[in-house]
Structure 1
Amino acid sequence: MPIPFILLLLLLSFLVWRRRSMAKYLVTCAFLLLLFLSSQLSVNTLVRPLESVYPINSTTITGACFVMVLGSAHSDIQGATAVQSLSTVALARLTEGIRQLNLGQECQLIVSGWGGELTHISHAEMMANAAIELGVGKHRIIQFPLARDTLEEAQYLQPTLDQVSFRLVTSATHMPRAMTIFAAKGLYADAAPTDFIGRADFGWRLSADNLVASQRAIHEYIGRLWLWLKTLS
């Protein structure tokens, strides 16, 4: 999202180049925005407030429970294992889900996500296959292969719980919005965030990693705004 917006500003500056003051203003805004989003300042301002809401969860689980791992993305790579086919985000979520699973004795792993239009199998199936490759028994895995987003993941989970406690695993930036969505459905999870991207660095250093982190944070803020607007309608 930030890059398309910056490109839009540059395009607008080209379209109004005859109005030099306006064109210079748009180019300056694009440059300053790119500078900010690529800096450590953007991570401190946008990313860390999201990631600091819920701490890492290493509490032992007693009794029956579910560990719900929210979906991300994967690719159909010929000859690759399921683990190798997962995106970086999906792999981070799955490994944390397995870690949470091992904190209890009677837990089941829930994986979700549809296949979209670019893959041959659902994301839930790919995550399940990867979990099996990483040592999780097939009988301990539940799949929601039709869920397309966090809202649908919460909807599919509702009839499965039956008063059993569950832990919710997703990226730390996504966790506040995910917890809000699940709570709106009457599902109160024990948060287990992972995939922390707000790394400490020198304030003057610019990097593409900061730009990616800023993009993910902006996506979450827009998602939270959309949720708020839906509650008003």
Structure 2
Amino acid sequence: MFDSGVFFWLKKLLAQLVMPLPLLFLLLLILLFIINCRAAKVNALANGLVITMLAIVLLSQLQISHLLGGSLEQRYSANHQAIQGECTVMVLGSGHSLTLGLSATQQLSPTALARLVEGIRQLKLSEPTTEAPHSCRLVVSGWNGGREGASHAEVMALAAQELGVSKAQITTFPEARDTIEELMSMKQIMGEAPFRLVTSATHMSRAMRIARSLGLNPEAAPSNFLAGDGYWWRLSADNLILSQASLHEYVGMLWLDVKRGWNN
């Protein structure tokens, strides 16, 4: 009989091998081996496919994805500080579905829902005063992506109401198409007044950089932390998502540097 420990790890290994990423990589290696044996002329193509698949595998691996994403997520810690007096909490948008029959919270993408939940948590950190007993405002933003139907900001507002926020507390920016436009809209109503800025932990560094360049005074309240614990040998689509989000942010910050160089 198998030792219970050996059986446990064998089960884990077999479970990994039938997951999409490891299984596809293994099948690709077998296919490329067959191709190389039968047609030497396609070696260059085969090598290119191996490199491409290897890159996908590495980006799906725990340490690599955390190396990329952890450095972004660690720049700002979760915000648990109370908000004194008047407060404004802004939640940056992140997509929604147009599927009929779903509630507003169900229409939100997982990222958008995580951001909204954190935004509502921030609202509850407000400490009402005699002068401002119910002054906390929730700002949500995002356009409709060029599609017919409600804007992302409107879906976010409806979802916030489903989660207990009163309609009177909510301000929407339904025309803002990206982070820059969202924060430019915020500048018009906030000026230099402080506010809580909620977005994904990987996105927070770039969002704060844009906000400060516009003269805004945000306090970071990151959400949706993706760099969690796990086994080094486990390939995961979650790790791949973290790698993708992180690379997107690095490219975005590089683009900000390029734009600043042009403007100077």
Q: TM-score, normalised by structure 2?
A: 0.79
1:209 Cα deviation from its structure 2 partner: 1.3
When residues 163 and 31 of structure 1 are mapped into structure 2, their CA distance, relative to the original with a 3 A threshold, is closer
Shift >4 Å, 4+ stretches: 17-21
CA distance in 1, matches of 2:191, 2:254: 31
Amino acid aligned to 1:175 = M
Please give the secondary structure, in 2, of the residue aligned with 1:156.
Answer: helix
CA distance in 1, matches of 2:166, 2:60: 42
Q: How high is the sequence identity, in percent, across the aligned residues?
A: 47
Gaps of 5+ in 2: 1-27, 129-134
1:19-71 Cα shifts (integer Å, max 9, x gaps): 55533432332132122111012222101001000000010000112101001
State the Cα RMSD in Å: 2.0
* Partner residue of 1:61 out of 58, 83, 88: 83
When residues 162 and 216 of structure 1 are mapped into structure 2, their CA distance, relative to the original with a 3 A threshold, is closer
Aligned length: 221
Which residue in the other structure is 2:121 paired with?
99
1:36 and 2:75 aligned: no
* Partner residue of 1:137 out of 166, 175, 180: 166
2:104–2:162: 8 Å Cα contact kept in structure 1?
Answer: yes
Which residue in the other structure is 1:231 paired with?
260
1:176 Cα deviation from its structure 2 partner: 0.3
CA distance in 2, matches of 1:159, 1:207: 42
In our comparison, the structure showing a higher alpha carbon Rg is 2
* Partner residue of 1:89 out of 111, 119, 124: 111
CA distance in 2, matches of 1:96, 1:183: 22
CA distance in 2, matches of 1:119, 1:72: 17
Which residue in the other structure is 2:15 paired with?
none
Which residue in the other structure is 1:5 paired with?
none
1:186 and 2:232 aligned: no
Amino acid aligned to 2:89 = V
1:64–1:165: 8 Å Cα contact kept in structure 2?
Answer: no
**Higher mean C-alpha displacement, 176-185 vs 18-27:** 18-27
Q: TM-score, normalised by structure 1?
A: 0.89
Which residue in the other structure is 2:74 paired with?
52
1:216 Cα deviation from its structure 2 partner: 1.0
Which residue in the other structure is 1:208 paired with?
237
Which residue in the other structure is 1:117 paired with?
146
* Partner residue of 1:217 out of 221, 246, 257: 246
